[in-house]
Structure 1
C-alpha cells in the first residue's frame, strides 16, 4: 500500500460529513475511490483501512466498524479514542443534555431483560441528579452532591427536544413501537465503556448484549443477539440448545427472515456477528457532521462537534 493519499482522505471526509455509513454504502465509496471491491480484494481493503487508522492515530481517532444490534447491519464510522475534558469542549450539547444522554444509556444497559430500550415516558422522567459526578468539584462541604441549577431546571420539553436532537445525530433511535434505543453512533463509540462497566456480552460474538435474547433457563446467564442466534441455529440441523447450559432454546426464524441473501449466508465480517434482516420503521437521517465521542474512559463520553477541519489538517501533517 502506498503512502497516505487523497483516496484515504476521501474516505475519511465521507464518514465525517455523512456520519456512520452502512457497510454497502461504505463499500460503494471504497470501490468508487479505488476501483476495487472489498469482497474480492479483502487484503487491499484491510491494508487501506490500516493506513487510514495509522494516520488518524496521531489525533487519537479511529475508523471503526460495528454491528447495529437493532437492525443487524454493519456500519463504519470515525470515533474519538480519548474522553477527556478537552474533547468535551467541542461538544454542541449542553451539560444537562449530556447528563440526559448518559442517564438514558445507563437505563438501557442496566435492563436485565436485555430488551435494549426505554419507553419514551420513562426517558423523559429520568432524574439528572444521579448523573452529577462524585468528584471534589461536584460535592459540597457536607459531602452532598452539588446539582447545577441548569440540571435541576431541565424541563420535560427540553428533554424532549434533546431526544430528537440525539436521534437526528444518530446517538439514539426511536423504535417502531415508540421506545428509545441506542443509535449506531453509541454502538461505535461505547464499545470500551460497555466492557469497563461489565455490560453482559453475547455468548456467541462476545460483544455487549444490549439488545439480545435470554436463555429460558433462569439459572443461566447466557444472552445472544438475535442475528447471532440466527447464524448459530442455521448451522445446526438438530436440536437447538443454549450453548452455555445445554437447555433447549425456543427459537423460530421470523417469516421475514426466512429468505436470506448471499451476504447474510456468508457469515460475519471479521469479528462481527452475521447480519439480520430486522428493520426499524423509523430511521434516523444522515444529517450532522460526525459529532464524535470518546471511548478511552470509564465514563460515558459526550458527543462532540464537527471535527472535519481538525482531522484534515492533522492527517495531512501525519
Structure 2
C-alpha cells in the first residue's frame, strides 16, 4: 500500500485514521505545513496528492472521500471502507441490535417530509426495531425451513429486549464516533461519518435530492408550492441567489422563494459582460462552499474536473492581496460505500432498502 507514497502522504493518512474526518481548512493547513504549498493556488498539486493516496488505499478497500456536512455547510474529508461483506462486519464494535437501532434512526430522519434533518431524542428512543429484525432475518442465507423459523424467533427477541437505557447508551456512542450528532436542544442528526459513508445508500433509496447540487437533501429548504417537490440546501441557495439580478424563485415551478443573501455576499458586476468581483467576504463566506467531493482513480474533485465560472480578482487591504474565486461543480458519485475505517465496519453501509414516503411536508 505504501508503494509510491512519501512520508508526507503517510502523515496525512495517519492523521485521518487517528483523528477521524477533518474539516477541509484543517486538511489544507496540514498539507501546506508539510509541503510548503498552498492548496488554494496549487490546486492541481493538491488533487494529485490526494489521488496518489487513493490509488494506494485501493488495495485495502479504503477511500479518502470528501463530503459536505449539510448542517454547517463545511467540507470534510475522511477515510471510509468501500466494501460490505461478512469479514468487514467482524470489525465493528457494535452489536446487531445497536446497528439495527442506528439504521432505524437513519430511516426516520431521511423519510421526514419536512427535510429538517433530525428527529427528537425521545422519538429516537421510542423507535420500534421489529421491522429491522425482519429485514435482518430475510437477508440471512436461506437454509432449511426450521433454521429460518428459528432465526426469525431469535432476532426479534434480541431487539425487543433492547432497553431504553441501552438505546440511550448507543446514541451516545454513535455520537462520540461521529455517526450521529446530538444537539443541545435534544435532537438527533446525522453525523459527518454518515454523510461520508451513505451517499450511495441515499440515492438507491430514492432520498429526494437537492435541485442545485443533486446530493441528497437531508437538511434542506422546501419550495413554498405544496405541489412542488423541489428542495435545496441552504448553502446551495446562497450560490443560486448570489447575483443581485438573480430571480429568487423556485427553479422548477417559478414560485417565489423567500431568501435574503447578506449584502457582503452579493456578486457585483461592472457591466453585463464584465468580470465578476465580490465584495469583501464575511467570515462564513470565507469558508469553501462546494459540492461533495469524491477523489477516485479516474479523477479528482468535480465531475470530469469541470470547473465552471472560475474568475480571479485581487483586492488590496492594507497592502495584502486577497484572491477571490468562484467555483461551481457537479458531484461525482461513488459506486460503493463503507464506514469510517478508524471506527466501525461496513455493517453500517449495509442498510436495508426502505419504502419511499412522500417528500412533501406533513
Question: How does the TM-score come out when normalised to structure 1?
Answer: 0.81
CA distance in 2, matches of 1:227, 1:115: 15
249-258 vs 190-199, greater mean Cα deviation: 249-258
* Coordinate RMSD, CA, aligned: 3.1
1:242 partnered with 2:264: no
CA distance in 2, matches of 1:271, 1:146: 48
Equivalent positions of 1:132-211 (< 5 A) are: 132=133, 133=136, 134-135=138-139, 137=141, 145-148=152-155, 149-211=157-219
- The Cα shift of 1:255 comes to 10
1:67 partnered with 2:75: no
- The Cα shift of 1:223 comes to 0.4
CA distance in 1, matches of 2:349, 2:115: 24
Q: Which runs of 5+ in 1 are unaligned?
A: 276-287, 302-318
After superposition, give the CA deviation of every residue in 1:99-120 in whole Å (9 maximum; x if it has no partner).
1101000110011111110111
165-174 vs 2-11, greater mean Cα deviation: 2-11
**Residue 223 of structure 2 is aligned with which of 201, 210, 215?**
215
116-125 vs 260-269, greater mean Cα deviation: 260-269
Is residue 61–residue 80 contact of structure 1 (8 Å, CA) maintained in 2? yes
- The Cα shift of 1:293 comes to 4.5
> Where does residue 44 of structure 1 map in the other structure?
45
After superposition, give the CA deviation of every residue in 1:130-158 in whole Å (9 maximum; x if it has no partner).
11222355987569943523222110000
- The Cα shift of 1:9 comes to 1.1
1:147–1:205 CA distance, 2 compared to 1 (3 A): farther
Equivalent positions of 1:13-52 (< 5 A) are: 13-52=14-53
Q: Secondary structure at 2:217's aligned position in 1?
A: coil
1:126 partnered with 2:133: no
CA distance in 2, matches of 1:20, 1:249: 34
CA distance in 1, matches of 2:264, 2:150: 55
1:224–1:176 CA distance, 2 compared to 1 (3 A): farther
1:228 partnered with 2:265: no
> Where does residue 282 of structure 2 map in the other structure?
260
1:64–1:172 CA distance, 2 compared to 1 (3 A): same
57-66 vs 258-267, greater mean Cα deviation: 258-267
- The Cα shift of 1:253 comes to 4.4
Q: Larger Cα Rg: Structure 1 or Structure 2?
A: 2
- The Cα shift of 1:298 comes to 5.8
- The Cα shift of 1:175 comes to 2.3
After superposition, give the CA deviation of every residue in 1:206-252 in whole Å (9 maximum; x if it has no partner).
11100100111111111000111112111243430011111111123
Is residue 68–residue 187 contact of structure 1 (8 Å, CA) maintained in 2? yes
Is residue 81–residue 295 contact of structure 1 (8 Å, CA) maintained in 2? no
1:250–1:36 CA distance, 2 compared to 1 (3 A): same
- The Cα shift of 1:57 comes to 0.6
Is residue 21–residue 193 contact of structure 2 (8 Å, CA) maintained in 1? yes
Q: Secondary structure at 2:77's aligned position in 1?
A: strand
> Where does residue 316 of structure 2 map in the other structure?
none
Aligned length: 287
CA distance in 1, matches of 2:346, 2:23: 21
- The Cα shift of 1:34 comes to 1.4
Equivalent positions of 1:56-95 (< 5 A) are: 56-95=57-96
1:54 partnered with 2:55: yes
